[in-house]
Amino acid sequence: MHNFELAKAYTTTQARDLLAEKPNSILKAGGIDVIDHLKQHLIAPNRLVDIKSVSGLDDIDVDRDGNLRIGALVTLARVAADEDIKKDFPALAQACGEAASPQIRNVATIGGNLLQRPRCWYYRLESYKCIKKGGDTCFAIAGMNRYNVIFGGGPAYPPHPSSAAVPLVAYGASLVLEGPEGTRTVPAGEFFVLPDVDPERENTLGEGEILTEIRVPAAAGKKSAYAEVRERAGFDWPVVSAAVAVEEDGGSVKSARIVLGQVATIPWRATKAEEALVGQPLGAASAEAAGQAAVDGAEPMTDNGYKVDLVTALVRRVVASLA
């Protein structure tokens, strides 16, 4: 076994210094995914920098205008139970409340949730040097791809694993990142990147950067909802999820954001479905049109064609629930 240090940070500056000081240092928040990586021999860090005790990153705050700020260390359980989030950002509360299991939600942080690595079994098995681990093949192409992507795949095809990311992209949230060059704010929809840029990465988190906060613009005048389909109720990821956020004007939809989870390597904007809704009143007909349009451009692999039907039904159901 590779020996490593466990170093506790109490401020973000201390965490960044601890990261920079020793090569091959890795951040640990709740540790659910990091410890899995250690156990699966996918990482061999020299130092784990434990940020769970960093002060100032575990608050939920709604300002006078209704803008929401969530510290990166807030647990999924707290997001799900927060009364302001349940009222104004129900899709986020629901996604966090259905993720994983109660035990995991009590430990897992929202920051770590957004930054967890993919769950494709070829990636998770040490013996497969897949394209996400520096190899030259995505074994899912010719192998077992029941849970893999139907949109935007290639050269890697693992589904994006974060349940929280789906509503956050639908709400137009931004991520605040603190790094050696200062602090930057990135729209969540731009933070996650397709594998054709670099198949080993899922996002644009920079070397030595720490996610400190998630900002969600006020939900005033918007309606939103989330739903997912799972094979098992707990201890598992959804096979498909969908978050919808709409703004109405005079009885019809003025703007819409429809985001799908577990069907692409990033939270996937179903732009054709959004277009199908705009200008229409919310109801059975527009829900049907959005559901059909949501699968535009889908390219199922050999074993995951069922996801196309699930997306159609789920988007139809979520949009109809807003009517």
Ligand X SMILES: Cc1cc2nc3c(=O)[nH]c(=O)nc-3n(C[C@H](O)[C@H](O)[C@H](O)COP(=O)(O)OP(=O)(O)OC[C@H]3O[C@@H](n4cnc5c(N)ncnc54)[C@H](O)[C@@H]3O)c2cc1C
Closest CB to ligand X among 74 and 138?
74
Q: Give ∠ CA 205-230-121 in degrees, rounded to 5.
A: 55
Instruction: Kindly give, in sequence order, each residue whose CB lies less than 8 Å from that of residue 103, ignoring residues fewer than 6 positions away.
Output: none
Site of interaction with ligand X (CB under 6 A): 26-34, 72, 99-100, 104, 108-109, 111-113, 115-116, 161-164, 210-211, 235-238
| Sole residue written with tokens 């990482």 | 43
Tell me how far, at minimum, the Cβ of 250 lies from ligand X, in Å.
Answer: 37
Closest CB to ligand X among 132 and 223?
132
Closest CB to ligand X among 106 and 302?
106
**Are residues 68 and 88 in contact, defined by beta-carbon separation less than 8 angstroms?**
yes
Closest CB to ligand X among 72 and 282?
72
Tell me how far, at minimum, the Cβ of 252 lies from ligand X, in Å.
Answer: 33
Query: Which DSSP state fits 302?
Result: S
Tell me how far, at minimum, the Cβ of 49 lies from ligand X, in Å.
Answer: 8
Angstrom CA distances, 134 to 39, 123, 143, 247, stand at 20, 11, 18, 43
Closest CB to ligand X among 164 and 243?
164
- Cα gap 105→123, rounded to integer Å: 24
Tell me how far, at minimum, the Cβ of 101 lies from ligand X, in Å.
Answer: 6
Tell me how far, at minimum, the Cβ of 164 lies from ligand X, in Å.
Answer: 6
- Give the CB-side neighbour count of residue 1, counting CA atoms within 13 A: 6
Tell me how far, at minimum, the Cβ of 224 lies from ligand X, in Å.
Answer: 18
- In sequence order, the β-bridge partners of residue 242 are 227, 260
Pairing of strands 60-62, 174-179: unpaired
Tell me how far, at minimum, the Cβ of 65 lies from ligand X, in Å.
Answer: 26
Closest CB to ligand X among 211 and 243?
211
Q: Looking at this protein, which amino acid is placed at residue 4?
A: F
C-beta nearest to ligand X: residue: 112
- Cα gap 35→27, rounded to integer Å: 11
Closest CB to ligand X among 48 and 320?
48
Instruction: Kindly give, in sequence order, each residue whose CB lies less than 8 Å from that of residue 219, ignoring residues fewer than 6 positions away.
Output: 66, 68, 88, 89, 171, 245
**Does residue 155 have a cis bond before it (omega within 30 degrees)?**
yes
